[in-house]
């Protein structure tokens, strides 16, 4: 699962071919016109560096935590105008914490400031849920919805159970 721009790049570089296109929509540039890819197939091995596979972006982090501060429980829509969702480190970076899925969580800016450089036990701030590494498919579903055509491929490659789990989210 990749952004459309990345999918197009792979197709144009002949590293992938389009299996399913998104209806009649095409993407045009001065030089070429390509159907908008919905499902692509890699025609040769494409190396994905480990740091990209493991990277936790705020988009995915906030989606995993359902856009909810993991300390006070408020959702992004409940925040005051000057507050925002931020990334908090359970074990602060300054004390050897990492950016791994199991050490980062969504916190409102107020809770993040209050927690500062403390460990949860030191300031009595414990997250609502223990942070875990989510399944990549779940994240993609949480961030943007799959089309019916893409859902068919999820069923094919990940099974009907996974698809049902995703659709229940
Ligand atoms: Zn909060």
Separation of alpha carbons 140 and 27, rounded Å:
23
Q: pLDDT digit string (tens) for 95-114? A: 999 999 999 999 999 999 99
What average pLDDT does this structure show over 27-56? 78
pLDDT digits (tens, 9 = 90+) for 61-74: 998 898 999 999 99
- pTM, 2 dp: 0.66
Cβ–Cβ < 8 Å for 106, 65: yes
Between the CA of residue 59 and those of 11, 28, 64, 65, 105, what are the distances in Å? 26, 28, 9, 10, 12
Confidence of residue 78 (pLDDT cuts 50, 70, 90): very high
Q: How far apart are CA 154 and CA 63, in angstroms?
A: 20
CA of residue 19 to ligand 1 center, whole Å? 44
Say how many Å lie between the CA of residue 108 and the centre of ligand 1.
4
Mean confidence (pLDDT) of the chain: 86
pLDDT band at 143 (very low <50, low <70, confident <90, very high): low
| pLDDT for the residue 160 | 86
**11 CB neighbour count, 10 Å cutoff:** 18
- pLDDT category of residue 50 using cuts at 50, 70 and 90: low
Who contacts 96 (Cβ-Cβ below 8 Å, separation ≥6)? none
Residue in 136, 129, 1, 144 with CA at minimum distance from that of residue 65: 129
Q: Who wins on pLDDT, 103 or 161?
A: 103
- Report CA(70)–ligand 1 centroid distance (Å): 7
For residue 56, report the distance from its CA to the centre of ligand 1, in Å. 20
Compute, in angstroms, the gap from residue 73 CA to the centroid of ligand 1: 6
Could you give the maximum distance between any two Cα atoms of the chain, in Å?
A: 60
Nearest to 15 by CA among 48, 49, 45, 50: 45
DSSP one-letter code for 93: G
Query: Counting runs of H as helices and runs of E as strands, what totals does the chain give?
Result: 8, 4
What mean pLDDT is predicted for residues 40-57? 75
């Amino acid at each position: 699962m990749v952004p459309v721009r990345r999918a197009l790049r792979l197709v144009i570089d002949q590293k992938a071919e389009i299996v399913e296109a998104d209806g009649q929509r095409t993407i045009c540039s001065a030089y070429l016109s390509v159907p908008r890819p919905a499902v692509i197939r890699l025609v040769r091995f494409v190396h994905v560096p480990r740091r990209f596979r493991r990277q936790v972006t705020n988009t995915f982090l906030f989606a995993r935590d359902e856009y909810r501060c993991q300390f006070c429980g408020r959702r992004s829509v409940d925040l005051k105008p000057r507050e925002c969702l931020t990334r908090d480190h359970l074990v602060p970076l300054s004390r050897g914490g990492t950016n791994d899925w199991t050490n980062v969580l969504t916190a409102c800016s107020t809770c993040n400031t209050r927690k500062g450089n403390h460990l949860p036990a030191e300031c009595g701030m414990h997250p609502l849920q223990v942070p875990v590494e989510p399944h990549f498919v779940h994240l993609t579903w949480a961030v943007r919805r799959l089309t019916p055509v893409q859902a068919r491929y999820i069923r094919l490659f990940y099974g009907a159970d996974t698809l049902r789990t995703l659709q229940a989210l």
